[in-house]
């Protein structure tokens, strides 16, 4: 908590209590707007299916039942716990890959001079622009030829080759904000680029590494299109695939089981978020860096 | 790996020595960069480039997903330019969405990030709560939820009723439905907010301390310290959010049930592309649509990069 | 060393091998001894449970055969299947839909089943109608898994509360409008409309056309109706809307072709139109007890209903073991050992023997569906001409134009004109 109590702009008010009281009121009101959907989903998971749609926007269920949780958890032949483990494993591996590979490339783009840097950078950004629907089939053919279909490899391996340009671009922007005098001084002392990368860049970039970690984990956790296309064996299913098997828009759907499992599926990523965000508040400002 | 930047100009005697030296020099200069770039280069050439060129090739064919494609030249592009009213309407909807949602979302994210960057109690909780909507991402539950909020008897209208206003069914009225998607996008402001927060955390405290000692007002500190030092991150968020908004697919797909309705009012570009590819078996045409979108986005991105010299401050 | 070289070439070939795209063939090296089938279907988890159980029974009865199953929701199913087919990795056993059957069959993706009739497939007792409805250009492409008809779902109690008789089999379009308007005058509370707005429903429009002696398409693939017919159709609904007999435009626009967005489910209307196999799903998310009846009819007109497959089982033309797949299909739709496990979850079985065996174990909602299909017989006509290539797009066009009329951005007459014009241009594109 002590990290939080920083002297920051806009604190020179004459009525600190009034101001912070007002701020909290505002924040709490905003929080309700933000939370409403989750509360509604929670309510939806607790009410009987036939109450779900005709009832309007009320939050309070007429009848409370937790049947949806047990039915949802054991609804398929493979229990939801198994899907959670799968998702956790995939997301962890993907996050590691993303942070590692993207930070390497970002360091090159942000700090090293080499021939064709601008061209590569433009190409990298270009990869962000193509909608995935049209690369889907060529990519499927590629992974099929590699023999990766019905495995997790298409979901994990590409991350170790930094295919998601978002993370590279993000880190480039932050690396460029780190004072250049630092690595110049280190270079004078004979430090290799590699040492500068992991002795100076990485420690000073904790906030952005944490940010990339959070996004990487959450987005992999939430991704359903990748697993949908590449995974078919139910024992390899991720949580998102499990969730989607409750809904069949052409026929019978189990909405309250979907809501129940959606609520549960939010818990791990919420915890991950809480855990990683502590790293967000450390960083250059609090690691004793002065210039 | 070593690529020389300039052609060796040396001639006559000692040419080979000079050449070797200049190559060695070039290698020394370029090697570390390419070494760090190697994983990305492998990924680019082996995983990304192939499928991208594949779709480029398909855009010149009549590929229907189920049969082998036939080459048709620029026919798809010609049809797009001359005989496709839906393409025009998708462009219109998408541009409107980009223009409205990107500034609103970024403004919101920055304001909240600034607010949360103060030393207030319960900060981690607020931060997490404000990020929650973004966790819902592409969940199908969003569709149900948005109807609960924006249908004729939804929560928004019950709140308006308190003030005696009878609102329309926002979500299913072609005049307003796109705006409910803009609201959805703004509501999920979590990721730019986090990035802003990380950026704010990177600004050294002592700069503010020094400014305070000099008697600079909070507003002045914002304009003179926060904004310039945050500009690389603001720039990043602008570029990324613009790209994402142009490519937006999931919100419209989920909320409109894949239809882009009512009356094409939420027919986003990529939603139309998806319908053409998988609903109407015109993957060739959809690929052409995709590449036109790439060009549109690339133009926007190029302009934002050109603008950086006027407002983005790097410490170099 | 040589393995490495081959692998690398393979790898590069995959990454850059665009040249190979036009000849995406079947995967070499994956087929093993015995038969390893891959089977895909769409549906929710109850269907998955039943199907997997039945498949296990099939594996038990056929040593050496293994079946890998994959299932997902409707929305995810089609892009995924198309990707697999395009990649040359199509599953052997494909659950097919009536609309997509034409696309897949005409492009040679699924196999004609006629060679297996009488040997692996013993489904002659399905009757001519149910076999014909799974045929394209005279060839059988799927085994009917559920007999389906389009009808009206009514909240009987809501109609009774209004002091009116709910629509039933044989209610004419005029009577329907009259009753709906009467309902609107007396209804209180949220359920203040009698009917959903059916103007954007292609099935309902088709039934209406057929009973007036027209059709959506003619045998030669051209349009079977004129602008005046469509204008009259839009006008019928415009008047009903005006008189408060059916839901307003913005309520109907909430409908996204799913059960949970139907005005009936959302509690705005006392009836809606849907396929009979959706009835169980409707009952699951509606509190009042629902009833299932036919579409409105034209007095002294032709029967406007016809029986369609709710879904069918097809075989990929790339399958290495089409005979075994055909046996599996037969096991699931005709053999009591498999068909009874599937139950009526996919619809009413086409085989009378299986249907009779299932009747005793049905719950209320399911027996309502079986009863409906049986009672519908006098109102069922022959199968209308097959939709031509590209006709699948017309569904969305009709919805859009009906919305333009409903939101008064267009008139019924202009709507009729533009429907016909757009239909002609869509069919030309093919």
Which range, of A59-73, B24-38, B76-90, C10-24, averages the lowest pLDDT? Answer: C10-24
Greatest mean pLDDT range, B98-102, C28-32, C210-214, C300-304: B98-102
Predicted confidence (pLDDT) at residue A71 exceeds the cutoff of 90: no
Confidence of residue A285 (pLDDT cuts 50, 70, 90): very low
pLDDT of residue C19: 38
Tell me, yes or no, whether A82 and A47 share the same domain.
no
| Cβ neighbours for C42, distance < 8 A, ≥ 6 positions apart | A248, A250, C71, C72, C73, C74, C76, C77, C95
Among residues A65, A84, A99, the one where a domain terminates is A65
Q: Which of A6, A33, A65 is the last residue of a domain?
A: A65
Number of domains observed in the structure of chain A = 2
Neighbours of B13 (CB within 10 A): 8
Question: Regarding predicted confidence, which is higher, C208 or A282?
Answer: C208
Residue A210: inside a domain = yes
What is the model's pLDDT at position A180?
Answer: 85
Question: Mind listing the domains of chain B with CATH numbers?
Answer: 1-58 (no CATH), 75-311 (1.10.3720.10)
Q: Would you state the pLDDT for residue B139? A: 74
* Residue C57 preceded by cis peptide, ω within 30: no
Mean pLDDT of C334-361: 90
Q: What would the two tokens of residue A83 be? A: 């899907």
Comparing CB atoms, the residue among C16, C256, C407 nearest residue B256 is C256
C93-96 and C308-309 as β-strands: parallel, antiparallel, unpaired? unpaired
Three-state DSSP at C46 gives helix
C236 near C173, Cβ under 8 Å?
yes
Residue C363 touches partner A, C-beta closer than 8 Å: no
Asked whether A236 and A118 are in contact (CB, 8 A), the reply is no
A interface mutation test: which of C279, C287, C309 has the most A CBs within 10 A? C287
Place A14 in a pLDDT band, splitting at 50, 70 and 90: low
Q: Is residue A291 part of a domain?
A: no
| One domain for residues A273 and A251 | yes
B8 Cα to chain A: minimum distance (Å): 15
Rg (CA), chain B: 26
CA distance A242 to A221: 12
Residue of C92, C58, C130 whose CA lies nearest to C311:
C130
- Cis check for the bond before B262: say yes or no (omega within 30 of 0): yes
| Nearest to C142, CA basis, from C93, C186, C178, C176 | C93
Nearest residue in chain B measured CA to CA from C77: B278
Spatial distance between the Cα atoms of B123 and B146, rounded to a whole number of angstroms: 28
Does residue A273 sit within a domain?
yes
In this structure, the strands spanning C139-140 and C93-96 are: unpaired
Task: Please tell me the predicted confidence (pLDDT) of residue A36.
Answer: 83
Buried b (16+ CB within 10 A) or exposed e, B172-181: bbbebbbbbb
- In whole angstroms, give the CA distance from residue C418 to residue C396: 13
- Domain contains A3: no
Q: Tell me whether residue A190 is in a domain.
A: yes
- Per-residue confidence (pLDDT) for residue A225, from 0 to 100: 87
Q: Tell me, which fold does domain C33-148+309-373 have in CATH? A: D-Maltodextrin-Binding Protein; domain 2 (3.40.190)
| Average per-residue pLDDT for chain A | 83
Query: A195 and A124, same structural domain?
Result: yes
DSSP summary character for residue C121 = B
Mark whether A123 and A103 lie in a shared domain. yes
> Whole-model pTM?
0.88
Could you count the other beta carbons within 10 Å of the beta carbon of residue A264? 18
All structural domains of chain C with their residue ranges: 33-148+309-373, 150-305+389-429
Whether the CB of A273 is below 8 Å from some CB of chain C: the reply is: no
* Residue-level pLDDT at A169: 94
User: Are residues A38 and A84 located together in one domain of the fold?
Assistant: no
The nearest CA of chain B is from the CA of A103 a distance in Å of: 9
Q: Identify whether residues A59 and A147 lie together within a single domain.
A: no
pLDDT computed for residue A6 by the predictor:
42
Least confident of B77-91, C29-43, C394-408: C29-43
Residue C116: pLDDT over 90: yes
Note whether A80 and A187 are same-domain residues.
yes
Asked if C243 and C181 touch (Cβ cutoff 8 Å), the reply is: yes
SS3 sequence of C65-119: EEEEEEEECHHHHHHHHHHHHHCCCCCCEEEECHHHHHHHHHCCCECCCHHHECC
Residue B86 Cα, gap to closest chain C Cα (Å): 11
What is the distance between the alpha carbons of residues C199 and C241, in angstroms, rounded to a whole number? 10
What is the model's pLDDT at position A4? 39
Q: Taking residues C252-260, what's their average pLDDT?
A: 89
Which residues, including other chains, have CB under 8 Å from residue C17's CB and lie 6 or more apart? A145, B50
Q: Which chains touch C (3 or more CB pairs under 8 A)?
A: A, B
For position A193, which CATH number holds?
A: 1.10.3720.10
* C30-45 average pLDDT score: 76
- In this structure, the answer to whether residues A59 and A166 fall within a common structural domain is no
pLDDT in single tens digits along all 316 residues of chain B: 344 444 444 445 667 777 888 888 888 888 888 999 999 999 999 889 999 999 999 999 999 999 899 999 999 999 999 889 899 999 999 999 999 999 999 999 999 888 887 767 777 788 888 888 888 877 777 888 888 888 887 888 888 888 888 888 898 899 999 999 999 999 899 889 988 988 888 787 788 888 888 888 888 888 888 888 899 999 999 999 999 999 999 888 888 888 887 999 999 999 999 999 998 999 999 999 999 999 999 999 999 999 998 888 886 5
B259 Cα to chain A: minimum distance (Å): 13
DSSP state of C360: G
Give the closest residue to B267 by CA, choosing from B290, B288, B249. B249
The dihedral of CA C154, C46, C319, C20: what is its sign?
Answer: positive
Q: Which residue did the predictor score with more confidence, C402 or A272?
A: C402
Between chains, do A146 and C266 touch, taking CB under 8 Å as contact?
no
Identify the band that residue C429 occupies on the pLDDT scale cut at 50, 70 and 90.
low
Q: How many CB atoms lie within 10 A of CB B219?
A: 10
User: Would you call C44 and A253 a contact, using CB atoms and an 8 Å cutoff?
Assistant: yes
CB spacing of B278 vs C75 below 8 angstroms: no
Give residue A56's pLDDT band: very low, low, confident or very high (50, 70, 90). Answer: low
pLDDT at C257 over 90: no
- Residues A181 and A109 both lie in one domain: yes
pLDDT at A30 over 90: no
- On whether both A118 and A229 belong to a single domain, the answer is yes
pLDDT by residue (tens digit) across A151-191? 999 999 999 999 999 999 999 998 888 888 888 888 888 88
Whole-angstrom distance between the N-terminal and C-terminal Cα of chain C? 52
Residue A47, domain extent: 16-65
pLDDT for C26 beyond 70: no
Which residues numbered 69-128 in A keep a CB inside 8 Å of some CB on C?
75-77
Q: Is the pLDDT of residue A89 over 90?
A: yes
Is the pLDDT at C8 greater than 60? The verdict is: no
Q: Does residue A100 sit in the same domain as residue A46?
A: no
Quick one: average pLDDT of A76-82? 84
Decide: A170 and B236 in contact? Cβ < 8 Å. yes
pLDDT level of residue C196 (50, 70, 90 thresholds): very high
Domain C150-305+389-429 has CATH 3.40.50.300: no
pLDDT recorded at residue A281: 62
Put simply, the answer to whether B287 touches A134 (Cβ < 8 Å) is yes
Q: What is the mean pLDDT of residues A38-42?
A: 84
Residues A97 and A61 in one domain: no
Answer whether C83 sits within 8 Å of A253, measured CB to CB: no
pLDDT surpassing 70 at residue C253: yes
Residues facing C246 on adjacent strands: C195
Question: Rounded to an integer, what distance in angstroms lies between the CA atom of residue A114 and that of residue B26?
Answer: 9
Give residue-wise pLDDT tens across range C403-426: 999 999 999 999 999 999 999 988
Whole-angstrom distance, CA of residue C346 vs CA of residue B277: 28
Which candidate in A131, A250, A261 is best for mutational testing of the B interface (most B CBs within 10 A)?
A: A131
What residues in A contact C272, CB-CB < 8 Å? Answer: none
For C328, the enclosing helix (H) or strand (E) is helix C322-333
User: What pLDDT, on a 0 to 100 scale, did the predictor assign at position C430?
Assistant: 54
| Spatial separation of the C-alpha atoms in residues B91 and C155, rounded to whole Å | 42
pLDDT above 90: percentage of residues in chain C: 65
CB of C381 less than 8 A from some CB of A: no
Nearest one of B249, B245, B237, B207 to B112, comparing CA atoms:
B237
Is residue A137 one of the residues assigned to a domain? yes
- The predicted-structure confidence for C125-143, as pLDDT tens digits, reads as follows 998 889 999 999 899 999 9
The residues that bridge with C26 in the sheet, in sequence order, are: none
Residue A11 in domain? no
Average pLDDT of the residues of chain C: 87
pLDDT band at A129 (very low <50, low <70, confident <90, very high): very high
Percentage of the residues of chain B whose pLDDT score is greater than 90 = 44
CB B222 within 8 A of CB A9: yes
Beta-carbon separation of B205 and A107 below 8 A: no
Partner-chain contact C14 A241, CB within 8 Å = no
pLDDT tens string C260-316: 889 999 889 999 999 998 998 899 889 899 999 999 999 888 888 999 999 999 999
Which of C 377-406 lie inside 8 A of B, CB atoms?
390, 392-393, 396, 399-400, 403-404
């Amino acid at each position: 908590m002590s990290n939080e109590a920083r002297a920051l702009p806009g604190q020179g008010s004459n009525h600190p209590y009034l101001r912070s009281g007002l701020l909290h009121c505002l924040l709490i009101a905003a929080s309700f707007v933000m939370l409403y959907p989750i509360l509604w989903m929670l309510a939806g998971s607790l009410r009987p299916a036939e109450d779900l749609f005709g009832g309007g926007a009320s939050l309070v269920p007429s009848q409370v039942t937790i049947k949806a949780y047990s039915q949802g958890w054991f609804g398929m032949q493979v229990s939801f716990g198994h899907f959670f483990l799968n998702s956790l494993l995939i997301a962890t591996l993907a996050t590691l890959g993303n942070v590692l590979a993207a930070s390497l490339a970002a360091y090159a783009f942000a700090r090293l001079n080499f021939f064709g840097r601008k061209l590569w950078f433009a190409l990298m950004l270009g990869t962000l622009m193509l909608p995935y629907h049209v690369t889907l089939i060529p990519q499927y053919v590629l992974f099929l030829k590699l023999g990766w279909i019905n495995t997790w490899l298409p979901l994990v391996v590409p991350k170790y080759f930094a295919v998601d340009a978002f993370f590279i671009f993000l880190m480039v922007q932050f690396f460029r904000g780190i004072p250049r005098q630092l690595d110049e001084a280190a270079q004078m002392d004979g430090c290799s680029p590699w040492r500068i990368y992991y002795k100076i860049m990485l420690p000073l970039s904790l906030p952005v590494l944490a940010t990339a970690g959070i996004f990487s984990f959450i987005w992999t956790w939430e991704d359903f299109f990748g697993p949908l296309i590449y995974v078919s064996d139910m024992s390899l299913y991720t949580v998102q695939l499990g969730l989607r098997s409750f809904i069949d828009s052409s026929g019978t759907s189990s909405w309250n089981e979907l809501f129940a499992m959606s609520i549960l599926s939010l818990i791990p990523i919420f915890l991950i978020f809480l855990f990683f965000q502590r790293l967000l508040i450390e960083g250059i400002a609090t690691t004793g860096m002065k210039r | 790996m070593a690529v020389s930047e300039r052609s060796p100009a040396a001639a006559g005697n000692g040419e080979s020595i000079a050449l070797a030296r200049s190559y060695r020099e070039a290698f020394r200069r370029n090697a570390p960069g390419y070494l760090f770039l190697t994983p990305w280069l492998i990924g680019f050439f082996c995983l990304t480039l192939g499928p991208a060129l594949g779709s480029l090739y398909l855009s010149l064919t009549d590929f229907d997903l189920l049969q082998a494609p036939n080459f048709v030249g620029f026919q798809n592009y010609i049809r797009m330019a001359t005989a496709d009213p839906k393409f025009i309407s998708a462009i219109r909807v998408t541009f409107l969405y980009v223009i409205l949602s990107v500034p609103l979302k970024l403004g919101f994210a920055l304001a909240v990030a600034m607010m949360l960057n103060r030393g207030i109690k319960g900060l981690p909780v607020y931060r997490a709560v404000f990020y929650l909507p973004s966790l819902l991402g592409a969940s199908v539950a969003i569709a149900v939820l948005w109807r609960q909020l924006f249908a004729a008897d939804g929560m928004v209208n019950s709140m308006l009723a308190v003030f005696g206003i009878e609102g329309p069914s926002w979500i299913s009225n072609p005049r307003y439905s796109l705006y409910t998607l803009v609201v959805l996008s703004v509501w999920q402001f979590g990721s730019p907010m986090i990035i802003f927060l990380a950026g704010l955390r990177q600004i050294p405290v002592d700069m503010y301390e020094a400014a305070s000692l000099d008697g600079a007002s909070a507003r002045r500190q914002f304009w003179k310290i926060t904004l310039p030092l945050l500009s690389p991150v603001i720039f990043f968020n602008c570029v990324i959010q613009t790209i994402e908004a142009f490519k937006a697919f999931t919100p419209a797909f989920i909320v409109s049930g894949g239809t882009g309705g009512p009356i094409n009012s939420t027919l986003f570009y990529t939603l139309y592309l998806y319908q053409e590819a998988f609903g109407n078996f015109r993957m060739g045409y959809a690929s052409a649509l995709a590449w036109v979108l790439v060009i549109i986005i690339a133009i926007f991105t190029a302009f934002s990069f050109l603008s950086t010299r006027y407002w983005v401050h790097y410490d170099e | 060393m040589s393995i490495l070289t081959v692998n690398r070439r393979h790898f590069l070939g995959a990454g850059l091998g665009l040249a190979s795209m036009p000849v995406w063939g079947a995967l070499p090296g994956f087929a093993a001894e015995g038969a390893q089938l891959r089977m895909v279907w769409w549906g929710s988890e109850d269907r998955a449970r039943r199907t997997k159980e039945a498949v296990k029974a099939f594996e038990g009865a056929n040593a050496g055969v293994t079946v890998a199953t994959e299932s997902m929701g409707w929305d995810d199913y089609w892009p995924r299947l198309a990707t697999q087919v395009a990649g040359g990795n199509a599953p052997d056993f494909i659950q097919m839909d009536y609309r997509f059957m034409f696309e897949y069959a005409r492009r040679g993706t699924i196999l004609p089943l006629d060679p297996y009739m009488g040997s692996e497939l013993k489904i002659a007792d399905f009757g001519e109608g149910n076999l014909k409805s799974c045929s394209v250009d005279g060839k059988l492409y799927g085994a009917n898994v559920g007999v389906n008809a389009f009808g009206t779902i009514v909240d009987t109690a809501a109609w009774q509360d209004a002091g009116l008789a709910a629509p039933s089999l044989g209610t004419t379009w005029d009577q329907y409008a009259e009753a709906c308007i009467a309902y609107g005058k007396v209804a209180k509370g949220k359920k203040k409309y009698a009917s959903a707005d059916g103007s954007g429903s292609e099935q309902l429009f088709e039934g209406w056309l057929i009973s007036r002696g027209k059709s959506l398409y003619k045998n030669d693939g051209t349009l079977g109706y004129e602008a005046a017919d469509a204008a009259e159709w839009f006008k019928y609904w415009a008047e009903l809307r005006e008189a408060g007999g059916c839901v307003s435009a913005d309520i109907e626009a909430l409908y996204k072709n799913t059960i949970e967005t139907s005005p009936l489910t959302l509690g705005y209307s006392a009836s809606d139109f849907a396929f009979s196999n959706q009835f169980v799903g409707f009952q699951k998310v509606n509190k009042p007890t629902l009833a299932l009846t036919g579409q409105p009819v034209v007095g002294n007109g032709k029967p406007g209903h016809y029986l369609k497959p709710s879904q069918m089982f097809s075989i990929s033309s790339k399958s290495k073991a089409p005979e075994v797949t055909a046996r599996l299909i037969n096991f699931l739709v005709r053999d009591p050992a498999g068909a009874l496990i599937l139950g009526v979850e996919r619809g009413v079985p086409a085989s009378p023997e299986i249907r009779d065996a299932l009747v005793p174990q049905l719950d209320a909602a399911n027996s309502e569906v079986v009863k409906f299909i049986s009672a519908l017989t006098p109102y069922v006509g022959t199968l209308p001409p097959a939709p031509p290539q590209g006709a699948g797009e017309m569904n969305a066009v009709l919805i859009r134009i009906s919305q333009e009329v409903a939101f008064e951005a267009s008139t019924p007459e202009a709507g009729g004109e533009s429907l016909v014009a757009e239909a002609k241009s869509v069919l030309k594109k093919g």
